[in-house]
Amino acid sequence: MSQQGYVATPPYSQPQPGMGALSPPLRGHYGDPSHSAPPAGIMKPAGSLGPTAPVGALPPGPPNSGTHQFGQNGPNISGYPQQRFPGPPPVNNANNAAPPYPPSSHLPPASYPSPGSMSATTQLGHQLGAMQIHNYGPGMASGSPGIPAPPSAASFQGPPQLAQPSILLPGPRMLPPPPSTHNGFGAAPSLPPAGRQDGLPGSSPPTANFPSLPLPGQPPGPGYPPQQGANYSPPQMPGAQLTSPAGFPGGPAQMAGPMQPPKKLDPESIPSPIQVIENDRSTRSGQVYATNMRGQVPPLVTTDCVIQDQGNASPRYIRCTTYCFPSTSDMAKQSQLPLAAIIKPFATVPPNEVPLYLVNHGESGPVRCNRCKAYMCPFMQFIEGGRKYQCGFCNCVNDVPPFYFQHLDHVGRRLDHYERPELSLGSYEYVATLDYCRNNKPPNPPAYIFMIDVSYSNVKNGLVKLICEELKTVLESLPKEEREETSAIRVGFVTYNKVLHFFNVKSNLAQPQMMVVTDVAEVFVPLLDGLLVNYQESKAVIHNLLDQIPEIFADSNENETVFAPVVQAGMEALKAADCPGKLYIFHSSLPTAEAPGKLKNRDDRKLINTDKEKTLFQPQTNIYETLAKDCVANGCCVNLFVFPSQYVDVASMGLVTLQTGGTLYKYNNFQHLDSQTFLNDLRSDVQKITGFDAIMRVRTSTGFRATDFFGAIYMNNTTDVEMAGVDCDKAVTVEFKHDDKLNEDSGALIQCAVLYTTISGQRRLRIHNTSLNCSSQLADLYKSCETDALINFFAKSAFTAVLTQPLKTVRDILVHQTAHMLACYRKNCASPSAVSQLILPDAMKVFPVYMNSLLKNCVLLSRPEISVDERASQRQLVMSMDVADTQLFFYPQLIPIHTMDVKSETLPAAIRCSEERLSEGGVFLLVNGLRMFLWLGVSTPPELIQGIFNVPSFTHINTDVTSLPEVGSPYSEKLRLTMSNIQKKQPYSMKLTIVKQREQPEVVFRQFLVEDKGLYGGASYVDFLCCVHKEICRLLS
């Protein structure tokens, strides 16, 4: 069995530039050491690595799903008829195969120095000396090196074979001289030919013949005894190996001849997120991914494929940090790998996939287990001729209700198995009965209330007029059920400054009527009939009102505003109408008027980098938390559009948005140029399919349970996740803990049930089920990890911890846990090697670059140009992001636009986020989901500039514009279409910033080149690898 592992040997005799002094890692929980147990919802520091776990040989192919799999209500029989639901058309692999991507090494190298820092290549030379990466693995077929051909089957029957990286062929052996002003950094010498680990001819691996030097002051790495009771050598996990040629026997004194200058380290040799993404696309893009196997690892979020539900929920709905859970809690503690699921219950399904089926059992309602209350799903086992079923979650045997009885076939499967979505699919919906409704009566359709800040500044800068004009268009496209002609959603309008103005827009009125509430301390709703109306019926009156609002307040000089009473009024209006709904609040200043929720300016830069910095993320007053609780209790979701020109205390006001499942949109120093970004966000939000007044419960099979929840949610107890609203972009991250041993045969089962009200006022249950493998081998855990899901979990747990812990403590624990996870892998899963080598599991080989990006994020590490409000809003946005959003946010997409072929439908391959990859003659598009930059080098060809901007040269480009002009050239058309397609996949409208090389705005752009050293602190990718390696060695010593 041949597998490989990533190995690095950096020198650590001197402090690494840019790392700063990392304090000793904390072994207790965040903050006060007197705490006996960590509070729920924050990261726990790593514990002991524990004893070496037995590691057996890894069997080829998918992991063993056990002798008894609950997957299909009975034994899996090959050749059994497929499900009869209409599915997506078959995918033609040949036509849909991923196009070949040009390697990024073909791009012109950067030809200008990095201002303020040395180049990444020089840094790499300083950091890792003459290090090289060698990849060991089975021999490769001819053709594209390292990338296997796409599977021929149209459907995935298991995880594909891992792509084998190409082997760097070695050259002569030479010890590199120390860098000096004379020799500089030359080329690193290569190592002798790499041996094959599958026993085929070839010289032995460099780590065998030429052991790396141990760290200063450390003994040589101990050997590893063979596994007990086995006659095979310990397996090596997939990956590549970083080794130093400086460590072979014989020092400089034994070498004859003059010293040769070492080569620079090739930046390509450290693990690349871009390569990982492209490898996955090359093997899985355009394929059909069937969910019929327990614990299989899905394609990456960056890979487009067709997902076919065959008994487990689509990865669009549920992704996990690892698809193989450890059998025991001791194993979980030993590895420190978080066990979590990222659940996006209302994820959008593309047109070529089947939407969720709706199951209606009438007044009987859904069939549920009597003991654990799990809903009927593919994990239930029918017995005794179909009269009873055994629950897959708690093993309780239940009677089958008479209306639900069906005979079993010769293999113990119900005859109607494929006619019932709840028996054969991972995701489906139930129509809920009155038992699931408030006060046992059907809910009313939801309402949207638009609440506009009409203070002096908003009127004068044209914002009020812009909002009123846009609402006329937006209201025409209120969301509606598929078969309905008009939307059932009612609408209402309120304006405010120091007082509130309610409007009666009843359809039989000739003119809208305004009622003013001045008592903001005890706010009330002055009218019920006429405040919430059907838009189509009252269209004329509403348009009349929207025309009048800018005129009514044109002469207003009132600049003070209230905020909490506005939310209170909206909630009371929905409560009086006995319906759930959304508040759309358009606000622009700190609420300083005398009223509940009044805030003061606390933008205190002196608190930054102190233990009190965490207070900047906490609300000033508990009024907003109480308000959020009341809103959730009444199904009132708050969306906040804020237009600040100075500090507005997002941490306080945004709390209501975060805890009610709403969204915060922030437009700094709003100008007319920004209007398109805002209007796109408003249109998108109003049209989103949303679940209202929702409660989510996550059930698990015996042996583990959900313990912590992160997201735009409210928790009134330890199990019920409450969301006044949940839309198609919101994800909840759930952490699991063991409470007993898990059974390797039956695996780990998860069921997520969301009870909600639809946009038409129907109460429904949305069910998502998934099954994972369990193993007593640590190697299986690491093999089944998903880096993108791991970083989503770590980001949310860290961003929760900043509310209560010093930021330095949070950063230190992240570094320590990263090192602990990799040290455990090194100790228990990797083959014997020198202690000075860094070994990374294949599934986590790019985890360090994402973790380093998280550590440098402005939430965890302040920067002078980033305001406190900006940090609070980024924290809030990340808390509700799904896996795809956090992947792009922490590793932006950088596309070399100048290499684009206007005649091709494919985009140029993305390149690594480093200044090294930029070129003076190039144009690059950078996207992170919230921002979009177009960077232009000083030597960009004039014809390219003319084609994009319709100006003759670089100096003529106007960097103030936020959209590209319609030039009409093929290049302009292609670029604008590309940007539009990227934007469609993102939940937020990304403002475009034009950046010219060597001009001031470039400083902001460079903060997104996450592989480089931060301008205001934060390590480069290479420095971070060194830091983590040093910590691993300390843990293993």
What is the tens place of the pLDDT at every residue in 283-319?
999 999 999 999 999 999 999 999 999 999 999 999 9
Confidence label for 817 from pLDDT (cuts 50, 70 and 90): very high
* pLDDT at res. 49: 60
Could you tell me the end-to-end alpha-carbon distance of the chain, in angstroms, rounded to an integer? 29
Q: What type of residue is 574?
A: L
Q: What is the 3-state secondary structure (H, E, C) of 21-38?
A: CCCCCCCCCCCCCCCCCC
pLDDT tens, position by position, 316-342:
999 999 999 999 999 999 999 999 999
* pLDDT at res. 103: 37
Confidence label for 267 from pLDDT (cuts 50, 70 and 90): low
Most confident of 217-231, 470-484, 779-793: 779-793
* Higher local confidence (pLDDT), 142 or 524: 524
Sign of CA dihedral 177, 182, 185, 186: negative
Measured CA distances, 727 to 241, 684, 690, 875 (Å): 44, 11, 4, 19
Q: pLDDT at residue 125 above 70?
A: no
Q: pLDDT at residue 118 above 70?
A: no
Confidence label for 865 from pLDDT (cuts 50, 70 and 90): confident
CB 304 within 8 Å of CB 985: no
Which is it for strands 714-715 and 721-727: parallel, antiparallel or unpaired?
Answer: antiparallel
CB 177 within 8 Å of CB 259: yes
pLDDT tens, position by position, 422-452:
999 999 999 999 999 998 999 999 999 999 9
> Mean per-residue pLDDT for 46-62?
44
pLDDT tens, position by position, 888-937:
999 999 999 999 998 888 889 999 999 999 999 999 999 999 999 999 99
Confidence label for 69 from pLDDT (cuts 50, 70 and 90): very low
- SS3 at position 448: strand
For residues 42 and 30, give the distance between their C-alpha atoms in angstroms, rounded to a whole number. 8
* pLDDT at res. 171: 33
* Higher local confidence (pLDDT), 58 or 877: 877
Residues with Cβ within 8 Å of 106's Cβ and at least 6 positions away in sequence, in order, are none
For residues 815 and 271, give the distance between their C-alpha atoms in angstroms, rounded to a whole number. 18
Strands (E), 758-812: 763-775
Confidence label for 604 from pLDDT (cuts 50, 70 and 90): confident
Burial of 200 (0-12, 13-18, 19+ CB in 10 A): exposed
The torsion of the CA quartet 548, 550, 551, 555, rounded to 10 degrees, works out to 150
Q: Which of 663, 675, 744, 672 is nearest to 711 (CA)?
A: 663
For residues 581 and 28, give the distance between their C-alpha atoms in angstroms, rounded to a whole number. 44
CB 240 within 8 Å of CB 134: yes
pLDDT tens, position by position, 40-50:
444 554 455 65
Q: Which of 889, 789, 893, 1021 is nearest to 278 (CA)?
A: 893
Q: pLDDT at residue 815 above 80?
A: yes
One-character DSSP codes across 44-80? -------SPPP--PPPSSSPP--SS-GGGSS---TTP
Measured CA distances, 449 to 73, 533, 636, 924 (Å): 47, 10, 10, 41
Residues with Cβ within 8 Å of 24's Cβ and at least 6 positions away in sequence, in order, are none
> Mean per-residue pLDDT for 1016-1036?
93
* pLDDT at res. 104: 37
Average pLDDT of the chain is 81
Measured CA distances, 396 to 68, 371, 380, 737, 929 (Å): 17, 7, 10, 22, 46
> Mean per-residue pLDDT for 125-150?
36
pLDDT tens, position by position, 674-691:
899 999 999 999 999 999
Q: Computed over its alpha carbons, how large is the radius of gyration of the chain?
A: 30
Q: pLDDT at residue 1004 above 80?
A: yes
CB 882 within 8 Å of CB 1002: no
> Mean per-residue pLDDT for 490-509?
96
* Higher local confidence (pLDDT), 72 or 941: 941
For residues 793 and 343, give the distance between their C-alpha atoms in angstroms, rounded to a whole number. 11
CB 50 within 8 Å of CB 330: yes
* Higher local confidence (pLDDT), 69 or 589: 589
Q: pLDDT at residue 532 above 50?
A: yes
* pLDDT at res. 48: 52
Cα-based angle 1021, 1025, 1027 (whole degrees, multiple of 5): 115
Q: Which of 654, 890, 859 is nearest to 792 (CA)?
A: 890
Residues with Cβ within 8 Å of 239's Cβ and at least 6 positions away in sequence, in order, are 4, 5, 6, 7, 135, 839, 840, 841, 842, 845
Residue linked to tokens 């970004």: 677
Backbone angles phi, psi at 450, to 5 degrees: -100, 120
